[in-house]
Amino acid sequence: MQKLRVASFSISIDGYGAGPNQSLENPLGERGHELHQWFFPTKIFQQNVLGKSGGTTGVDNEFAENGFKNIGAWILGRNMFSPYRGIPNADWKGWWGENPPYHVPVFILTNHKRGPIEMEGGTTFHFVTDGINSALEKAFDSANGKDVRLGGGVNTIRQYLNARLIDELHLVLSPVILGRGENLFMNLDLASLGYKCIKNVSSDKAMHLIIEKSTNT
């Protein structure tokens, strides 16, 4: 059965998944890059994202690699694709250059219609204006029986959690206190929604938490 999965989503000790004031200069928000210090050195980041050789192996890399396995499509919130607000910049094709690291269809939640953008390496960006359920249906249909990965950002994950549509949530607790930004857990009762932590594994740089939705709730 297909699943909607969140993988390798980093949060601070105080629950923030992004820093404040996201911009072209700070795509992760102010100090947001500090949440991902566990990920940047890994082999999969160095090779799949930067196109370089080398990189670290071990616990962090294993969890990061698992997040790309059996993924047939992605869903991203608007802010994950672009720093621009309002009518989209027609020249903007994402943060990742001509060959984004997805290599499958990617569905962007937005309020503004835009035609699909075909990129190198098999990535096509589709823009969905009729809500999270529609995006999920389109992603499942495009995934050829594989799972769909929900990339974020915080607000998008919160919407899918509140709707109990996420089957598996891999959070990475980074040893950072941001103090402000976008808080994943604000006014969100995961226990009442039927989610429970089934696994936790620590590395030198982070703690990996696997949270699943109960089928009995």
Comparing 32-46, 77-91, 157-171, 172-186, the range with the smallest average pLDDT is 77-91
pLDDT, residue 48, reads 82
Mean pLDDT of the chain: 94
pLDDT, residue 91, reads 84
Cβ pair 45, 56 in contact under 8 A: no
Cβ pair 203, 157 in contact under 8 A: no
Residue 82 located in a structural domain: yes
Tokens of 148: 């769909």
pLDDT bracket for residue 216 (50, 70, 90): low
> Which stretch of DSSP H or E encloses residue 157?
helix 154-162
Closest CA to 176 of 78, 39, 21, 79: 39
Q: What are phi and psi of 168, to 5 degrees?
A: -140, 135
Residue whose tokens read 């929900």: 150
Cβ pair 20, 30 in contact under 8 A: yes
Residue 212 located in a structural domain: no
Residue 44 located in a structural domain: yes
Residue 211 located in a structural domain: no
- Domain limits at 105? 4-17+27-88+97-205
Tokens of 68: 């790309």
To the nearest 10 degrees (0 to 180), the angle between helices 154-162 and 132-142 is: 90
The pLDDT tens digits for 110-167 are 999 999 999 999 999 999 999 999 999 999 999 999 999 999 999 999 999 999 999 9
Residue 22 located in a structural domain: no
Residue 196 located in a structural domain: yes
pLDDT, residue 51, reads 81
Pairwise CA distance, residues 61 & 41, whole Å = 9
pTM of the model as a whole: 0.94
CATH number at 165 reads 3.40.430.10
Residue 214 located in a structural domain: no
Residue 215 located in a structural domain: no
The β-bridge partners of 207 are 173, 202
3-state helix, strand, coil in the chain (%, to 5): 20, 30, 50
If one counts the domains in the chain, the total is 1
